[in-house]
Structure 1
Amino acid sequence: MNAREPETLIPAAVETLPINFAILDDEGTILYTNRAWQEFGKANDIDIRPDTIGTNYLTITRQAETETAQTAAAGLSEILTGGRELFEFEYPCHSPDNQRWFLMRAASFTDGEQRYVAVAHFDITDRYTYQRRLEESNERLQQFASVASHDLQEPLRMVTSYLQLLESRYSDELDEDAKEFIEFAVDGAERMEAMIDGLLTYSRVETQGKPFDSVNLEAVLDDVLTDLDIRLDETGAKITAEPLPTVSGDASQLRQLFQNLMENALQYSGEQEPRVAISATRDEEEWIVSVSDEGIGIDQEDADRVFKVFQRLHSHEEYEGTGIGLALCKRIVERHGGEIWIDSNPDDGSTFSFTLPAADT
């Protein structure tokens, strides 16, 4: 059996695709519609029917006089006049008994010197419904996080205040054990409040993040080092940084990312003065940024664990912290479409590396 040339299979393949597809000439006249387009027209009793081949799609669209139709007509006009090569938008196509959502895509192409436009309508109802449900779920989660944060923090603040008041007012009557118990209770309440704040920030990475813009990472690092100035002096930390790039991202979140990684490097420096180095290398359309320290390091088997919420490798008595900082870093990097990982060995320092999209892509 002889195989057919691919070119001879294209018409048959287009006919069987479950996508409403048409070809227009450079004036918008309908030259071809596939079976899905024709069947959709019949089933929905719309104006574009098999016998409309030879009529002007742009004229038909404008006659609908709806906002959706006018958007489609405007975009298609730009394609036909050469103002743009590709146009797409989502729109509803509802009937009393059926609610559907479609994605329209129009793109120009040439055959020799003749210019044409391909128009396709994809049924995205399932995807659209899933996205709406996900957005509603995220909104409910955000509302819950905000309410829970407030409702949990208020009693914690009250507990802390009354314990501190008790210690202040009755200090002369309390023995050393009682004072120590109060200190433990206050410390526990304050740590719980910090954990709640951390969880709230973690939950808001997606829902309250700002639109991406060009972000100069050197300026971000300068701001972070200014905030950490006192701690850097106290610890005798030495920070070195290579030239850092401009990336596409949320400046406030990237500042949080750098601050968490810098604080982590200072926290786990061990007995020696902290040494931290920041560098960046270009990898096609993204930058790989690395923050390296000479601290206590971790076992490589725990490399994934450190990025999970509340997954601490050390007790609170050994090292302070909420167990959310690195998990927040991971969530921020993922929102930017990147990855974060750690290369480390015990007593041999750690290098946290992450990818961010370049600003010029």
Structure 2
Amino acid sequence: MQNTPLSTIDTLQKSFKPIEESETTRLIYELEVHQIELEMQNEELLQTQNQVKKEAEKLAAYARKYATLYDFAPSGYCTLSRAGDIIELNLSAAKMLGKDRGRLINNRLALYVSPETQPRYHLFLESIFTDKAKHTCEIILSVNERSPMHVLLAGTVDETEERCFINVIDITERKQAKETLLLQNKISEQHTAELILANRELTLKSKENEKLAAALNASNKKLITAMQLSDQAVQKYFTLYNIAPCAYFTLSRHSKIIELNLRGAQLLGRQKLTLKGKLFSAFITVESRSVFDHFVEQIFKTNLNQTCELSLTMEGRPLMFVHLEGSLTDNGEHCFLTMLDISARKEKESKIRQLSQAIEQSPVSIIITDTNGSIEYVNSKFGEDTGYSFDEVKGKNITVLNSGHTTGEEYEALWQALKDGSEWHGEFHNRKKNGQFYWESAAFSCIQNSAGETTHYLAITEDITYRKHTEARLVKYAKELKNVNSDLENFAFIASHDLQEPLRMVNSFLNLLEKRLDNQLDETTRQYIHFALDGAARMKILIRDLLQYSRVGTNKEEFSAVDLNAILNHLQDVLRQTIESNAAVIKVQAMPVIIANNTLVRELMLNLLTNALKYRGEEPPEIEVGCREEENRFVLFVKDNGIGISAEYFDKIFIIFQRLHARSRYPGTGIGLAICRRIAELHKGKIWVKSEEGKGSTFFVSFPKSAE
């Protein structure tokens, strides 16, 4: 305002020269000046009124813009049952309720609603499940008595019609801003009324114009302050929009990105400015494209909130799973999306499914009980082993399988170990559902929470009935084998004494008979006597060799370190006469030290060397003894240049009393290789031969590196 009323009067007064006038002329002059002053003040008041009106409209526009931005600000989400129990909620919702998320699950949301708004809340919840449509309501949360929280609830029922999804928006600040705006509007309306009244009274009360101008200036200052507060609120929610933990997108009908926040650009792996105008569907995997198209179509078609889960793909980044929630904007031309990264949840769900499948398909029974022993879970293998279904044993104590064969002391030891936080291993003789008894091996352990407190017990059991029966049979067989071995030892004693005594008598009396009737015997009779003596001698050798075979394995000598080099040096000394008479050459490689029975190994090597010298060809014997080392065993070999063996006899030669040649050519009983095989088997090894008739033979014997 450039000129005030007083300055105008001064200007008018200066424009008139002082002249002598009558009293009437002076009064008329003063009245005209006063009228001009009133008209100017009236015009200024009208201008001020228009300015106030424009500021009020601008303030109303800011209020609408603030309300739109607030609708899309970060909000809370929760899932409720029909009874209003909280099934799931996000961190924003938990923060609004002032509790940890874990403590809110399974609690009723109504516990946190103020008493005066509870009827409105229950009607809202009932309407969602009754109408199966979107409903909203405003309630007050009584989390903090000093500053109650006003929230807007928007809810829809899910496809199962047993749960509903609630969007919880904190509208406390909006309520306060609305009340402020209403107050400012009332003040503006009051000021306008005052201005109109003042305008009517200008002709009567000129002095009151100055007071009205001062009040108007104060009102303008308040309006400016309110506008500044509004701008700050808008800036605040723009900031919240950009730094929100959720990603926000505004899309066109054709899924073009109109607007997004910083979190949205971060999830898509691009700069914010480069994403505007791009197709959101370009970031969706082929498998999820149809889901997204249907999702957007339903938003514009139904004008209702829609949700979906799909996967995104970005170059150079792993597959991302997201949850989308969308709704139409106020103008109906765009849709607003809230996107959450649920990749970690999906990965956990996948791991949980794998663990669940592993437990369900486990070859052993798995049981989970509470700390009182009441069954809370069993897998399918439990049903196969016991005949009980999960429903039949749920809530029952694990002693439902008790057959009465397990003592109370054993159960006390089990529970005491679990109370001490230790593991327990043992066996139970339990009873199945059909009354059949069975054995099971069990391992019990504690399941603890993050605080180290025991919350449940885990039992892993395995039906070992077959193993128990097998062990019993093995004990029985071992006893029978012990008796058989005892009989064999008795037989060996008899063979070494009682069976050889008649042979000595036959041999002695035949010799006496030959001497007494020496002059009376013809050549044929003398030959018969020699045949009988030879048969008795061969019988004696057979009994001796059979006795030797039966004694293999009865040697009580413990396994120890056996130096094969020392054994071979000793055997060459024992066989030196035979070696020299046959002009034989024996080459011995460096041999290892093995864990074995010293006496039996010496007998094994003696038989192999003796056979190599006996079954010689036309050339002098050449014998090579060596050993090769394999992963878990030593393989000894004895190679000769003798007569060789046909492949069809490779197995036959290791059978007792099996011979391939006439006794007249190669003497013996055919028991030596059978003894070798038995010695190898007693050492957990084996013996075999590689040979070609006329080209020599190589016998192999394997020994484990460690004694079992």
Q: TM-score, normalised by structure 2?
A: 0.38
**Using a 3 Å threshold, how does the CA distance of structure 1 residues 352 and 132 change in structure 2: closer, same or farther?**
same
Q: Which residue of 1 aligns with 2:356?
A: 8
Instruction: Give, in whole Å, the separation in 2 of the partners of 1:235 and 1:162.
Output: 38
**Contact 2:428–2:442 (8 Å) recurs in 1:** no
Choose which of 592, 601, 616 in structure 2 pairs with 1:269: 616
The CA RMSD measured in Å over matched residues stands at: 4.4
SS at match of 2:499: helix
Choose which of 580, 584, 592 in structure 2 pairs with 1:233: 580
Higher relative contact order, chain-length normalized (CA < 8 Å, sep 6+): 1
Larger Rg: 2
**Contact 1:298–1:346 (8 Å) recurs in 2:** yes
Say whether 1:318 aligns with 2:665: yes
Choose which of 33, 46, 55 in structure 1 pairs with 2:416: 55
Q: Which residue of 1 aligns with 2:648?
A: 301
**Using a 3 Å threshold, how does the CA distance of structure 1 residues 104 and 233 change in structure 2: closer, same or farther?**
farther
Cα deviation for residue 217 of structure 1 reads: 1.1
SS at match of 2:685: coil
**Using a 3 Å threshold, how does the CA distance of structure 1 residues 135 and 244 change in structure 2: closer, same or farther?**
same
Choose which of 8, 17, 20 in structure 1 pairs with 2:364: 17
Choose which of 459, 475, 480 in structure 2 pairs with 1:132: 475
Cα deviation for residue 332 of structure 1 reads: 0.8
SS at match of 1:131: helix
**Using a 3 Å threshold, how does the CA distance of structure 1 residues 312 and 210 change in structure 2: closer, same or farther?**
same
Instruction: Give, in whole Å, the separation in 1 of the partners of 2:555 and 2:533.
Output: 31
Q: Deviations over 1:119-148 (max 9, x none)?
A: 989554323333233333333333443335
SS at match of 2:557: coil
**Contact 1:33–1:50 (8 Å) recurs in 2:** no
Instruction: Give, in whole Å, the separation in 1 of the partners of 2:400 and 2:671.
Output: 54
Say whether 1:141 aligns with 2:484: yes
Aligned-pair identity in percent equals 32
**Using a 3 Å threshold, how does the CA distance of structure 1 residues 133 and 349 change in structure 2: closer, same or farther?**
same
Instruction: Give, in whole Å, the separation in 1 of the partners of 2:462 and 2:511.
Output: 69
Cα deviation for residue 41 of structure 1 reads: 4.8
**Using a 3 Å threshold, how does the CA distance of structure 1 residues 284 and 45 change in structure 2: closer, same or farther?**
closer
**Using a 3 Å threshold, how does the CA distance of structure 1 residues 38 and 326 change in structure 2: closer, same or farther?**
farther
Residue identity opposite 2:470 in structure 1: R
**Contact 1:286–1:356 (8 Å) recurs in 2:** yes
SS at match of 1:56: helix
Q: Which moved more, 1:217-226 or 1:343-352?
A: 217-226
Q: Which residue of 2 aligns with 1:69?
A: none
**Using a 3 Å threshold, how does the CA distance of structure 1 residues 360 and 50 change in structure 2: closer, same or farther?**
closer
Instruction: Give, in whole Å, the separation in 1 of the partners of 2:479 and 2:428.
Output: 19
Cα deviation for residue 263 of structure 1 reads: 1.1
SS at match of 1:294: coil
Instruction: Give, in whole Å, the separation in 1 of the partners of 2:698 and 2:506.
Output: 40
Q: Which residue of 1 aligns with 2:242?
A: none
Instruction: Give, in whole Å, the separation in 2 of the partners of 1:222 and 1:255.
Output: 11
Residue identity opposite 2:588 in structure 1: A
Q: Deviations over 1:158-204 (max 9, x none)?
A: 22232233334544543443333233222222222222232233233
> Counterparts in 2 of 1:58-207, with a 5 A limit?
122-123=464-465, 124-145=467-488, 146-147=490-491, 149=495, 150-207=497-554
Instruction: Give, in whole Å, the separation in 1 of the partners of 2:367 and 2:674.
Output: 45
SS at match of 1:157: helix
Residue identity opposite 1:316 in structure 2: R
Say whether 1:243 aligns with 2:590: yes
**Contact 1:243–1:279 (8 Å) recurs in 2:** yes
**Using a 3 Å threshold, how does the CA distance of structure 1 residues 300 and 190 change in structure 2: closer, same or farther?**
same
Instruction: Give, in whole Å, the separation in 2 of the partners of 1:214 and 1:232.
Output: 28
**Using a 3 Å threshold, how does the CA distance of structure 1 residues 6 and 92 change in structure 2: closer, same or farther?**
closer
Q: Deviations over 1:86-115 (max 9, x none)?
A: x99xx999xxxxxx9x99899x9xxxxx9x
**Using a 3 Å threshold, how does the CA distance of structure 1 residues 234 and 204 change in structure 2: closer, same or farther?**
same
Q: Which residue of 2 aligns with 1:335?
A: 682
Q: Deviations over 1:323-355 (max 9, x none)?
A: 111011111111111121111111111100110
**Contact 1:41–1:49 (8 Å) recurs in 2:** no
**Contact 2:428–2:441 (8 Å) recurs in 1:** no
**Using a 3 Å threshold, how does the CA distance of structure 1 residues 313 and 54 change in structure 2: closer, same or farther?**
same
Choose which of 205, 224, 235 in structure 1 pairs with 2:571: 224
Cα deviation for residue 271 of structure 1 reads: 3.2
Say whether 1:348 aligns with 2:695: yes
Q: TM-score, normalised by structure 1?
A: 0.71
Cα deviation for residue 48 of structure 1 reads: 6.5
**Contact 2:596–2:707 (8 Å) recurs in 1:** no
Q: Which residue of 2 aligns with 1:214?
A: 561
